[in-house]
Amino acid sequence: MKSKMLVLAALVAATAASNAQSALKCTEIMYTGLYGEFVEYTNTNANGGASFDLEDIEYSDNHNFATGYVVDLSNTGSPVLIAPGQSFIVTEAAEEIFDLAWYALPNGTTTVTRPATLVAVVGDVSVNLGRGDIAQIQDSLGGALDVLRFDDQLAPYNGPRTEDVSAVPDVAAGSAIALNDFRTWITSGAWKKGSAFSGATVAQPAGSVTPWKSGRATSVGTVGSPGVYNR
């Protein structure tokens, strides 16, 4: 009986851990853009909930963590905890280029101000996404944390095309974030002027509805809001 109770306790603990891990979700994605593709992940736990250690997270695409297609996100120089409401970015661009493209102040300088909720940008990622692909993360033991299948052409994952404009879950769809159903995602809308490289206001992309995350336009109209998570 004792051994059965221990097994049951282990299963309960594993289930609890899995439930906690599922709160780390993809909340924005762009598969291609002038400043490179990016994927935003956010700890969607409520305040006071569990944090996640970036040193314990790996990233991959539709190669499912095969040799040569695994990105160790711990290579940030120091331990990084992702608290509830905080986000991190995975991008093919160099970190410095990504910062200048998205977070330089619109005053002609190179002063960078990241969103307060963005705790890490993991740049120079060579595991790149295609137009229809998978963005996924797992823990260091191989336990799935989040899997997003996306496409804009083929069912059953067909949603918005994310070329030069990112896509975000449509919270009006209810459990869009929890279910990772790309069919319920929408394109980002642009609400403010561009970065230091642009002064033009970019209109909300045609066909999109008012999103829960407003986009920011870069110099050529690439629209997104990486690092900003609105509860």
DSSP states of 53-106: EGGGEEEE-TTTT-TT--EETTTTSS--EE-TT-EEEEESS-HHHHHHHHHB-T
Residues 6+ apart with CB under 8 A from 197: 101, 104, 218, 219
Percent of the chain scoring above 90 in pLDDT: 41
Average pLDDT over residues 4-22: 39
Answer whether the bond into residue 84 is a cis peptide, omega within 30°. Answer: no
Task: Report the distance separating Cα 31 and Cα 135, nearest Å.
Answer: 10
pLDDT, tens digit, 9 for 90 and up, residues 87-116? 999 999 999 989 888 887 665 667 788 888
59 vs 169, more confident? 59
Please determine, for residue 17, whether its predicted confidence score (pLDDT) is greater than 90.
no
pLDDT, tens digit, 9 for 90 and up, residues 161-195? 998 888 888 776 655 677 888 988 888 764 333 33
Give residue 113's identity as a one-letter amino acid code.
T
Please determine, for residue 58, whether its predicted confidence score (pLDDT) is greater than 80.
yes
pLDDT value at position 108?
61
Q: If you average pLDDT over every residue of the chain, what do you get?
A: 77
pLDDT classification of 158: cutoffs 50, 70, 90: confident
pLDDT, tens digit, 9 for 90 and up, residues 31-41? 998 888 999 99
Please determine, for residue 52, whether its predicted confidence score (pLDDT) is greater than 80.
yes
pLDDT value at position 89?
95
pLDDT value at position 230?
63
Site of tokens 């949603």: 159
pLDDT classification of 12: cutoffs 50, 70, 90: very low
pLDDT classification of 206: cutoffs 50, 70, 90: very low
Please determine, for residue 229, whether its predicted confidence score (pLDDT) is greater than 80.
no
Please determine, for residue 3, whether its predicted confidence score (pLDDT) is greater than 90.
no
pLDDT value at position 187?
82
Task: Report the distance separating Cα 132 and Cα 49, nearest Å.
Answer: 33
45 vs 211, more confident? 45
pLDDT classification of 76: cutoffs 50, 70, 90: low
pLDDT classification of 157: cutoffs 50, 70, 90: confident
Q: b/e map of 66-76 (b: 16 or more CB within 10 Å)? A: eeeebbebbeb
